[in-house]
Each structure stands twice: as C-alpha cells, then as structure tokens.
Amino acid sequence: MFLGRLEFRERKKRRIGILTAGGDAPGLNAVIRGVVKSATLAGYEVIGFCRGYEGLLAPVEYKILDYRNTSGILSQGGTILGTTNKGRFQCTIGEDQRVGVAPELLQQVKKTLSELDVEGLICVGGDGSLTVAQRLFEAGIPVVGVPKTIDNDLSSTVFTFGFDSAVASATDALDRLHTTAASHGRVMILEVMGRHAGWIALHAGIAGGGDVILIPEITWSYEGICRQITARDSMGKNFTLIVVAEGAQLPEGDHVVQEVPPLGGQVRLGGIGHRLAAEIERRLDRECRVVVLGHLQRGGGPTAFDRVLATQFAVHAVQLLSDKKYGQMIAYRPPHIESVRLEDAISKLSRVNPHGPEVRSARALGISLGDDPVSSGCGAPDCESIPGSISMVSVPVFA
C-alpha cells in the first residue's frame, strides 16, 4: 500500500475505481483481479482505493492496479486493498436504523474522483457498504455495487460470494466435531455467524450432518432441543451435534450480546452457544462442549464456486460502468448474472423461509429446528426477504 498523490496529467486510458468495504470475505481478491483483467482488456486503467471508503478522503490512499500487482491473488483470502467496517462512512445498523452520509464527505469523494479522472466507481460490500454506495449515487457519483457477505443476507441475489466459503468452513468444523462427539458421547455445539439470517447455520448443518439447527427465523425452545437429544439416546446415538447462528434469539426473545458499544453503534453478538450448553447440562445432566467458529469463517481462500462467482460479478461490474448504467448492483439469478437497482437491493434483507425447501429438507432428514414443526415460522408470509433488525438488549455472555 502506498499513499498516492493526486496528479494532474494527460492520460491515454480512461479510469475506473474499485474499493472493498465492510467485513472481509473470501473472494474479494478474485473480484479485484477480475475487474483489473477485464477492465484492462477494455482499455481502462484501474485505481484501487485502500481501506474502503476511507481511502477516498484526504489523505487519499490508492494504488494503480495492473496485471503485475494482482497476479496470484485469485486464491487468496482477505483483500489487497484493505477494508474497514468502522470510520466516517458507517451507514447502517440493521434494517431499521439507516442514516445518511455527511454532505462534506460526499463533496470530498466527488473531489477525489474528479482530480483522479475516475469516471466510475465499483463498490464491493454488504448491506451497510452498499447503502453508502447508494448515498454516493444519490449525490450524483457514478457507482456500481458488487454484493459481498458471508451471511448471504442481501436481497435480489440468490448467493453472495463468501457465503459458500463460510459454509465450507463450518461444514469442515462439523465433520471434525462429529468424531470427537461420538468418541466421548457428548453434545457438541457449534456457534456460527448469522446476525439476521440463518443461511450459514442451515446449509452447514445439513451438509455437516447436524442434529439440531437453530436460526434467527424460527422460534425454538429448550424442550424441543432436549427432546431431540433424548430421542437420539433412545436410538443408541449417544452424541448430538447442534449448530446455532449467533443471531438466533433465546426462547425469552432476547439476543445474547457480547458487547454494546458505549457510544452507540452495532452491538456485537456472541455467546449463545455457551448459554445453550449450560441449559442442556442443567436439564439433562449431559456433558456439552462449545466451539465458536468466529472469524475463521471469514478467513482463508475462497472455494471454487466463490472464485467463479466473484469473477463473474467483476466482469459484469466493469460492463455496467462501460455502459454507464450506474446505481446498479450485480445479482446472481441462476443461470444468469443480472443487475438490479441498488436502492431495491438494500431495501430488505434476505432471510431463511421457515417453510422453504432447505428447512423442509432438514425436517425430512430428522433434523430438529428446536421447535414444534406444525407451529413454526416467523409470522411473515414470506421470510426470504423481510426487514431484519436486532433490538438492543443487555444479555451477558455466559462464561
């Protein structure tokens, strides 16, 4: 990384910019590489802004990206441009607490792009980062969005890159926990990410042979979990694998919160696995162990699926800028890669439908969702795309 100086010189090539914002996810470097390769062949020079949107502000931080400094990054995790989910551009806390971007910041962004002769900006991020991109577009800045989140909770696209890699990581963890759980006859609990949506828990739970899957979209009870454990005991299965999303609410309706920022902001979830283990041990006198996968889900290289998806997103983003179709987000709608309005994409979260095919498949396999299957649901007619938020609660992490 180096601090680029704003230059005023005649250039032969047109310029586009790219930045990666929000939490990191496997596949970010694949997007950067895809943008550079396709844009270069189309006659563009690519500027990569460092540390997300912060790199657009003085002192401006950027790199000229080319074949040499993006060679070999396809399989690398993280992002060579750096990213941040803090700073002056924080724009969203869940679905119901969106805020604007200060006018002076928008003016600084315009000034930076003008002085660098950048005619279009590709913003790679999740719902918060793409909300910032929408604010830039509303201010007259030419932007295109690329969806990125391991939670897979962005609407308008079936999958976001990073999700498949996170599921692969969680599935591998379950595979490993299966053998130690069976050896010791234990209840093993795997806590995975999933703030508003349970996609990672659900997919990994099915792929990794989980026995209980707890997600934010389905209300569960301790009784439902204990019934599953005792039922397995009666079948001679003396161990149980439980997968729980960090955003799954307790039966009382609260979230387990690890940290509440003193000056406001997005609360840090975490600890539901330990709360669950303590209650199971109390009720059934069973030995429980908890593994919190945490940032391991976001680290490491992307799967082959995420590499392909990220590369396709990159190519289509460059094409949108070339066609001057601004204010759009790339979307995967099998078998096509399309684009949708950024405004529509960030308007609601994509959540698991309690009556959808994945949940029905899990139930058919005998997997418990911790509930009464007849009365399960989130109360909405279609939970695939409904507003999501987290209420501020003070539930300490069980130590």
Give the pLDDT of residue 212: 97
Looking at the structure, tell me whether residues 27 and 89 fall in a common domain.
Answer: yes
Instruction: Flag whether 56 is in a domain.
Output: yes
pLDDT tens for each residue of 211-258: 999 999 999 999 999 999 999 999 999 999 999 999 999 998 888 887
Distance separating alpha carbons of residues 153 and 67, to the nearest angstrom: 33
Q: Give the count of domains, the chain.
A: 2
What is the model's pTM? 0.86
- Beta-bridged to residue 125, according to DSSP, are 147
Cis bond before residue 335 (omega within 30° of 0)? yes
How many residues belong to the chain? 399
Looking at the structure, tell me whether residues 205 and 312 fall in a common domain.
Answer: no
pLDDT band of residue 376 (cuts 50, 70, 90) is: very low
Give the pLDDT of residue 386: 37
Looking at the structure, tell me whether residues 220 and 308 fall in a common domain.
Answer: no
Q: For CA atoms 226, 231, 237, 242, give the dihedral sign.
A: negative
Looking at the structure, tell me whether residues 254 and 370 fall in a common domain.
Answer: yes
CATH number of the domain that residue 228 is part of = 3.40.50.460
Q: Catalytic: 151?
A: yes
**Placement of tokens 């392909």 in the chain:** 308
Looking at the structure, tell me whether residues 376 and 231 fall in a common domain.
Answer: yes
Q: Cα-flanking dihedrals φ and ψ of residue 131, to 5°? A: -65, -40
Helices 127-138 and 103-115 pack at an angle, to 10 degrees, of 80
Looking at the structure, tell me whether residues 109 and 250 fall in a common domain.
Answer: no
pLDDT band of residue 387 (cuts 50, 70, 90) is: very low
Give the pLDDT of residue 110: 95
Looking at the structure, tell me whether residues 36 and 111 fall in a common domain.
Answer: yes
DSSP-H helix ranges across the chain: 28-41, 103-115, 127-138, 163-184, 199-207, 222-234, 272-284, 304-322, 342-345, 357-364
CATH number of the domain that residue 155 is part of = 3.40.50.450
Please say whether the beta carbons of 162 and 124 come within 8 A: no
**Placement of tokens 């060579």 in the chain:** 80
Range of the domain at 332: 14-161+302-348
pLDDT tens for each residue of 48-62: 999 999 999 989 999
- Beta-bridged to residue 388, according to DSSP, are none
The single residue of 151, 164, 211, 371 carrying the catalytic annotation is 151
- Whether the predicted pLDDT of 7 surpasses 70: no
Distance separating alpha carbons of residues 126 and 386, to the nearest angstrom: 16
- Whether the predicted pLDDT of 12 surpasses 70: no
Looking at the structure, tell me whether residues 285 and 211 fall in a common domain.
Answer: yes
Which one-letter DSSP state was computed for residue 336? E
Looking at the structure, tell me whether residues 248 and 139 fall in a common domain.
Answer: no
Looking at the structure, tell me whether residues 307 and 282 fall in a common domain.
Answer: no
Give the pLDDT of residue 372: 65
Percent residues over pLDDT 90 in the chain: 73
pLDDT band of residue 90 (cuts 50, 70, 90) is: low
Looking at the structure, tell me whether residues 294 and 335 fall in a common domain.
Answer: no
pLDDT band of residue 378 (cuts 50, 70, 90) is: very low
Give the pLDDT of residue 240: 96
Average pLDDT, the chain: 87
Q: For CA atoms 309, 310, 315, 320, give the dihedral sign.
A: positive
Instruction: Flag whether 335 is in a domain.
Output: yes
Looking at the structure, tell me whether residues 224 and 370 fall in a common domain.
Answer: yes
